[in-house]
C-alpha cells in the first residue's frame, strides 16, 4: 500500500517580495543572477538535501536556469519564468518533495554560502542584501510541507 503523507501548511501565508529590491536586476543583470543560482545549485548538489535536486549535471543546470528565471523576475527583470513555465506557484511545484525544517535550513545554508562575497562575484549591491535574505528566510518557510 502506498504511503500517504500529511502535507504541512505553515501558519504564515506566502511571503511578500517587498524586501527584494526591484533595482537588483538593473544592477546585477541576468547573467549574474543566473551565475548565482548555478552556484546555489552546485552547493545543493553537495549537501544533505541533494536527493531533492537533479543529480545529472545537465538536469541540475536546467533546474538552476528555471530558478534563475524566477529570481530574475523577483529582482526586477522580465517575467521569464512566467513566459517559459507559467505562473510560479512555487509551493505547489514543491509539494512532490518532502521539505521539512532541517531541509529548509540546509537550503538556506547553501544559498548563504553562495552569497558570500556576492558583491564581487555577482555585482550584488550590499545595501540590498538584508532585504533579499529576509525574503529567502520567509520564502523557504513557506516551502516547508512536512514536519
Instruction: Give me 97's grid cell.
Output: 518533495
Segment 71-107, tens digit of pLDDT: 999 999 999 999 999 999 999 999 999 999 999 999 9
| 24-143 is classed CATH 1.10.490.10 | yes
Segment 24-51, tens digit of pLDDT: 999 999 999 999 999 999 999 999 999 9
Residue-range domain boundaries for the chain: 24-143
Amino acid at each position: 500500500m502506498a504511503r500517504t503523507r500529511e502535507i504541512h501548511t505553515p501558519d504564515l501565508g506566502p511571503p511578500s517580495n517587498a524586501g527584494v529590491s526591484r533595482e537588483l536586476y538593473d544592477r546585477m543583470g541576468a547573467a549574474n543572477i543566473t551565475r548565482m543560482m548555478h552556484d546555489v545549485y552546485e552547493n545543493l548538489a553537495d549537501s544533505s538535501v541533494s536527493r531533492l535536486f537533479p543529480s545529472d549535471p545537465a538536469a541540475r543546470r536546467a533546474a538552476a536556469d528555471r530558478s534563475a528565471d524566477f529570481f530574475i523576475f523577483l529582482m526586477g527583470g522580465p517575467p521569464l519564468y512566467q513566459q517559459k513555465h507559467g505562473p510560479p506557484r512555487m509551493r505547489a511545484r514543491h509539494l512532490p518533495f518532502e521539505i521539512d525544517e532541517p531541509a529548509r535550513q540546509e537550503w538556506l545554508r547553501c544559498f548563504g554560502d553562495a552569497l558570500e562575497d556576492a558583491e564581487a562575484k555577482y555585482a550584488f549591491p550590499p545595501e540590498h542584501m538584508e532585504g533579499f535574505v529576509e525574503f529567502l528566510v520567509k520564502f523557504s518557510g513557506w516551502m516547508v510541507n512536512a514536519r
